[in-house]
Amino acid sequence: MLSATRVHAAAFYATPFERTPTPGEVAAVGRTLFFDRALSASGRLACATCHDPRYAYGPPNDRAVQLGGVSGRTAGLRSAPSLRYTQAVPPFTEHFHDNEGDDSVDQGPAGGRTWDGRAQSAHEQASLPLLSPREMANGTPAALVERLRRSASADQVRSVFGPRTLEDRELAFKAVVLALEVFQQTPAEFYPYDSKYGA
CB 51 within 8 A of CB 83: yes
d(CA 54, CA 35): 13
Is the model's pLDDT at 4 over the cut of 60? Answer: no
pLDDT of residue 3: 45
Cα distances (Å, whole numbers) of residue 24 to 7, 66, 97, 127, 173: 11, 31, 36, 20, 19
Q: What angle do CA 99, 100, 102 make, to 5 degrees?
A: 85
pTM: 0.86
Phi and psi based region of residue 186 (left: phi greater than 0; alpha: psi -120 to 50; beta: remaining): beta
pLDDT tens-digit map of 121-159: 888 889 999 999 999 999 999 999 999 999 999 999 999
d(CA 157, CA 39): 13
The most confident of 3-7, 96-100, 105-109, by mean pLDDT: 105-109
pLDDT of residue 13: 54
Determine the average pLDDT of the residues in 31-51.
97
pLDDT tens-digit map of 99-127: 777 777 777 888 888 877 778 888 888 99
pLDDT of residue 14: 67
Is the model's pLDDT at 10 over the cut of 60? Answer: no
Q: What percent of the chain has pLDDT over 90?
A: 68
Is the model's pLDDT at 9 over the cut of 60? Answer: no
Over its C-alpha atoms, the chain yields an Rg (Å, rounded) of 18
DSSP symbols for 90-105: PPPBSS-B-SSS-TT-
Q: What percent of the chain has pLDDT over 70?
A: 91
Q: To the nearest whole number, what is the mean pLDDT of the chain?
A: 89
Domains (range + CATH), the chain: 4-190 (1.10.760.10)
